[in-house]
Structure 1
Amino acid sequence: MLESTYIHIPMIGATIEKRIWKSGVRTWKEFLSERDNICIPDKKKSLICAGIVDSIDRLEAKDHSFFARSLPSSEHWRAYSHFSDKVACVDIETTGLAPGHDRITVVGIYDGKEARTYVKGIDLEEIVEELPKYKTLITFNGARFDLPFIKREFPEIEFDQLHIDLMYPLRRIGFSGGLKKVEQMLDISRSEDTTGLSGFDAVRLWREYERGNQRSLEILLEYNREDIVNLKTIIDMVYDKLVENKYSQC
């Protein structure tokens, strides 16, 4: 999908992009070879050709930050297949919903192979070194919740990555509601210990752990691990549908 994208080029919007697709041209290389047959102004063609040459160079260099800056945040998902080798599915647990008052208790990071959980009072500060290693972050409602919470507690972290907040592209293809509801719609199951748990339960489990219940922490970490692993499962399941939906709009 990224190599069929034009809206990241300065002065090129969704209308021009859709006109290009409607002409039968999808990829950057197709545009360069078929430019004379595309019905858009010559000035726009010149801008696009220059943008394509630059984009090809940036993609070959795996310059994720270029696409993170130039793509609208709602369209970062388009780059997923090109940067999925350096992806981190991220989810946090907190003591509540107020960033100015509540604190992070757990941060989970899943790179597609290993799920790791970082815990307040044990190793939470290690995320400062860990998160910058990735080129793409995947969250659910992370733009409003997870990443601002992390940035408030760890302002030294610079989030220059591509960020795919799955909540929004999922809505476009008919999967609305919270993460657990989306999992149910996609027939993704959870373990016996975590089925039916919510964010409010995560707060309760942490409080029980603070009172000495180690088992509550184990369940909380399992709950968090399932969140991050399921994020990867979901994007892999729906990515083609997101692409089809985008093309269907032209």
Structure 2
Amino acid sequence: MSSLREKMMRLRGSAAPAAETAVPAETSTLSGEARPTPQHSAGSEAAAEHGGEAQEERLSSAWDEMNVRIHHTSLGGFLLRETRYPLDFRHGEHRLSEITDVLQGLAQFELYSEAKSMGANKVDPELFPMAVVPERMLFLDLETTGLGVGTGNVPFMVGLGFIEEDAYVVQQMLIRHPAEERAMLRYLSEKLPAYSHLVTYNGRTFDWPVLAGRLVLNGLRDFRWEPYHVDLLHPSRSIWRNTLSSCKLSHVEEERLGIEREDDVPGSLAPAIYFQFLADGNPDPLFGVFRHNEIDMLSLAALVIRFGHLLGGAMGGRLAYPEGPEEQLRTGLWLERMGQTEEAAALYAKFEAGGKAEPRLMLQLAERDKKYGNWERAVLLWQQVAALMAEHAHPSWDAHIELAMYHEHSTKQPRLALQFTEAAFDLAHARYEGLRLDAKSRAEIEAIRKRMDRLRAKLAKLSG
């Protein structure tokens, strides 16, 4: 920590005075609509409250162009930027006002956690009423000096999103040098406890551990906050990990939420831009980081709306059904884990009716059916996969083994079980012929051979 802090202080100490004038930032748009005029009152009001000392410092016009103000706390000041969006503002496919329409769906996140803790698949919502209030939901995203969660990683910008009265408010805090970090953290420690739900994207393993660590390292050990944490990265990966090129928020928002960023500064460049600011004192490039973080806060709201609709039974109505078999299956599996069995069943039916799924996906659904005792569809899927393997360039024999076990133990037909086992052995022999096998492959073939020997011995005993 000390080396990074010294580097930041050294860069700040050698900075040239910031330019007093700056080229006005270009007007940008989000999703084809004009961006609302930002209203920034928090910083100026705080300055007035603290009297002459707070008013002595004046920011350059470059900061003013970004609508950035100084906010003072009992531990000093930092920079604050606030933008208010009307709730009817559309970000991609969703309006921000839809947050109030998906509260029942969002409660499923907590009900799912409660069910897991009880070792159940589902709990009765009436027994565990979860109060998801829009005004008590907080969206969080950090811009940091690095990627790790260690003590040397400093959040130089913190973005918050929340609903206040008739607006979605995006607040962004920026520290101009390490000495301002404690003031920013003091502000956060006083603000966060007012919220009961925290929404992030990869915040469970990154954003929140980083921020919590900085609070401790800066002596704010009396801070206590235990919100229910909804990390949207996990459902995104569950559904889209094989259908999208990446599960980064920028990819999800573009390919599934209809959001297009214009002239966006990638988050990976934010640390370099910040260190350059520490070196030369020019705030102009930081506007791109502000805008990147601001869109992140809007996209978090849009994504939580999307998952809220999914969990609220809006497929086929407000939301269209997924088109591809992979997304149909993965969405169904995720919804079933979250307790939405009826919606999941509708997706499984569409998956099965499509008839264009890859064998590996058919095996996944069959595994699900085996787990829940739906043997009729499981056997049908295994039979379909087994038939496809006869002409497959790189066949697998998983379906054959499953059918062998099913007929041996469920239908009590060892002869039929032996036929599927022998077919599996033939597929394995054909696939590995002429190849030097590793230990895993040798073990697979040996397991099939042992199954054949056991079934043959069983048949001989029955016939004798």
Same fold (TM over 0.5): yes
Residue 259 of structure 2 is matched in structure 1 by 188
Listed as ranges, the matches of 1:182-221 within 5 Å are: 182-186=252-256, 187-190=258-261, 192-194=262-264, 197-210=265-278, 211-221=280-290
Does the 8 A contact of 1:90 with 1:107 survive in 2? yes
Residue 124 of structure 1 is matched in structure 2 by 184
Cα 1:8–1:208 shift into 2, 3 Å: same
1:93-130 alpha-carbon deviations (Å, 9 max, x no partner): 11112322221100000104110001124552321212
Q: CA RMSD in A?
A: 2.7
Q: What CA distance in whole angstroms lies between the structure 1 residues aligned with 2:172 and 2:194?
A: 16
Cα 1:174–1:14 shift into 2, 3 Å: farther
Residue 444 of structure 2 is matched in structure 1 by none
Match status 1:90 vs 2:159: no
Does the 8 A contact of 2:267 with 2:292 survive in 1? no
Q: What CA distance in whole angstroms lies between the structure 2 residues aligned with 1:189 and 1:83?
A: 29
Number of residue equivalences: 191
The structure whose RCO (Cα within 8 Å, separation 6+) is larger is 1
Match status 1:166 vs 2:236: no
Cα 1:27–1:138 shift into 2, 3 Å: closer
Q: CA deviation at 1:169?
A: 1.4
Cα 1:181–1:7 shift into 2, 3 Å: closer
Q: 1:14 aligns with which of 120, 133, 141?
A: 120
Q: What CA distance in whole angstroms lies between the structure 2 residues aligned with 1:141 and 1:182?
A: 13
Q: What CA distance in whole angstroms lies between the structure 1 residues aligned with 2:155 and 2:200?
A: 16
Listed as ranges, the matches of 1:72-111 within 5 Å are: 82-98=132-148, 99-111=150-162
Match status 1:141 vs 2:202: yes
Residue 296 of structure 2 is matched in structure 1 by 227
TM-score (norm 1): 0.67
Does the 8 A contact of 2:161 with 2:170 survive in 1? yes
Q: What CA distance in whole angstroms lies between the structure 2 residues aligned with 1:239 and 1:10?
A: 20
Q: CA deviation at 1:10?
A: 9.1
Residue 40 of structure 1 is matched in structure 2 by none
Cα 1:12–1:181 shift into 2, 3 Å: same
Unaligned runs of 5+ residues in structure 2 are 1-104, 314-334, 346-371, 373-464
Between structure 1 and structure 2, the one with the greater Rg is 2
Query: Residue 154 of structure 1: SS of its match in structure 2?
Result: helix
Q: What CA distance in whole angstroms lies between the structure 2 residues aligned with 1:212 and 1:180?
A: 29
Q: Which amino acid counterpart does residue 161 of structure 1 have in structure 2?
A: P
Q: What CA distance in whole angstroms lies between the structure 2 residues aligned with 1:226 and 1:5?
A: 30
Q: CA deviation at 1:151?
A: 0.6
Q: CA deviation at 1:227?
A: 0.9
Q: What CA distance in whole angstroms lies between the structure 1 residues aligned with 2:287 and 2:254?
A: 23
Query: Residue 198 of structure 2: SS of its match in structure 1?
Result: strand
Q: What CA distance in whole angstroms lies between the structure 2 residues aligned with 1:87 and 1:27?
A: 20
Cα 1:93–1:227 shift into 2, 3 Å: same
Q: Alignment identity in percent?
A: 24
Q: CA deviation at 1:14?
A: 3.1
Unaligned runs of 5+ residues in structure 1 are 21-25, 29-51, 63-81
TM-score (norm 2): 0.38
Q: Which amino acid counterpart does residue 182 of structure 1 have in structure 2?
A: V
